[in-house]
Amino acid sequence: MSASRTPGHSRLTKAHKLSIAGVTTLSAAALAFSLVPAGAVEAETVNAAPVAWTKVVDGVQAKALQQHLSVQQVVADKNAQDAAKAKAEAAAKKEREKKAAASRSAARTPVFANNLDGWIKEALFIMKKEGIPGTYAGIHKNIMRESSGNPMAINNWDINAQNGIPSKGLLQVILPTFKAYHVKGTKFDQYDPVANIVAACNYAADRYGSMDNVNSAY
């Protein structure tokens, strides 16, 4: 029997088949293109930002940092200079104050005459600073009795002289007493009038309360 054709259907020709294959390929390509993420395109665009712009930004930042560091260095140098200047001024002020104090001290120290009156007054000046009691009248009275005002007077006949320690000076002080009651700042010399008076008054203050209380040989 011969083949029969179904009504409503026709055989596909070779040309029709090729046409259909071409359309299918184009559709697949279109579909593949449409499936590429938009973000990928944007990322690629962003990643392609000009390198020159980055360099410009970095250059501006580096310049700004350098300027900032320069300003800091200038400030640090200024602070160091100010500190050195303040230190120098403080040292100069201290030196001026020291000289002024020395000048005031020198001005307060009177000049004493090199005689009995001056010796007693100088001794009283020292005694006041050392807290040793005594008055001009009391010292003068005992000096006149002991040595008549002669700073080189020496007793060669009493018991002290016989024991080898004669009394010497204005207030006739023996060496052991002078050593024990010598006041620092005066000469270590029995014959020195000021040192002799001060040591004798120091001894009298310890023994009698004051040279003013001595009215005879002591």
Residue 43 lies in a domain: no
CA angle 170, 171, 177 (to 5 degrees): 125
Q: Could you tell me if 99 and 125 lie in one domain?
A: no
What is the residue range of 82's domain?
Answer: 54-109
Mean pLDDT, rounded, of the chain: 79
Claim to verify: residue 94 and residue 143 sit in the same structural domain:
no
CA distance 160 to 150: 19
Q: 126, 141, 116, 138: which is closest to 193 by C-alpha?
A: 116
Section 169-175 average pLDDT: 97
Task: Judge contact between 157 and 166, C-beta under 8 A.
Answer: no
Whether residue 83 is found in the same domain as residue 130? no
Predicted confidence (pLDDT) at residue 146 exceeds the cutoff of 70: yes
Residue 88 three-state SS: helix
Residue 59 is predicted with a pLDDT of: 67
Structure tokens at 129: 């600073």
pLDDT of 54 higher than 80: no
Looking at the structure, do residues 102 and 144 belong to the same domain, yes or no?
Answer: no
Cα(120)–Cα(196) distance, rounded to whole angstroms?
10
Residues 102 and 135 in one domain: no
If one counts the domains in the chain, the total is: 2
143 with 93, same domain: the answer is: no
The closest alpha carbon to 202, from 189, 212, 211, belongs to: 211
> Could you tell me how many residues make up the chain?
218
pLDDT in tens, 177-189: 999 999 999 999 9
Whether 103 is covered by a domain: the verdict is yes
Asked whether the beta carbons of 168 and 190 are under 8 A apart, the reply is yes
Distance, in Å, from the CA atom of 50 to the CA atom of 47, rounded to the nearest integer, reads 9
> Could you tell me if 86 and 136 lie in one domain?
no
The predicted-structure confidence for 64-76, as pLDDT tens digits, reads as follows 767 777 788 888 8
d(CA 124, CA 134): 7
pLDDT of residue 105: 65
At residue 126's C-alpha, the angle toward residues 124 and 130, to 5°, is: 110
Q: What is the dihedral of CA 134, 142, 216, 187, to 10 degrees?
A: 80
Please give the structure tokens belonging to residue 1. 């029997």
Task: Give the tokens for residue 112.
Answer: 């004493």
